[in-house]
Structure 1
Amino acid sequence: MMKTNLQFFADPNPEPKPNDSNPNPDGKNPKPAGKTYTQDDIGKMMASKAKEVESNLRDDFEKELKQKEQEWLEKGEKRASMNAS
């Protein structure tokens, strides 16, 4: 087994960093970073987003369905004219 000098991997600056145990020296509570949301608020936001996504997907599906329908009608008409000749 090969011996490894662990000091080689140590931090080059052995001085301990000061630990700030009191982030607010004035004693006041820090302001919240942003708005806090209730479970009901989150539920409403998620429902709204789900409805939006569903609507977009439905629109895309209907558009694609109409394109396919038109494509198949054209193919059917083309094949019908081939047999009629």
Structure 2
Amino acid sequence: MAAHIQIEGNNIAEIIDSAFLLITQAIAKCNKEIDYNNFYWCEIYTKQRYSIPLSRGERVAVDYILPVKSKQITRQE
């Protein structure tokens, strides 16, 4: 299972600075967690959401794809 997350910002530095925190929060809200045993991190820069807006001085967006799994439920006795 993979998560596909899109983050928008004023520039790439702003996106990268906040990406990990925003991604982990979004995944947790979906009752999932990052699958570190099968971990990869894919950044996708599209022409429509990154290159064209960047050339116009507009906000840009980067897509991230990474593996997730259902949260492990721990029982407290």
What interval of TM-score do these two structures reach, taking the shorter chain for normalisation?
A: under 0.3
| Structure with greater helix percent | 1
| Structure with greater strand percent | 2
TM-score, scaled relative to structure 2: 0.22
Larger Rg computed on CA atoms: 1
Higher relative contact order (CA 8 A, sep 6+): 2
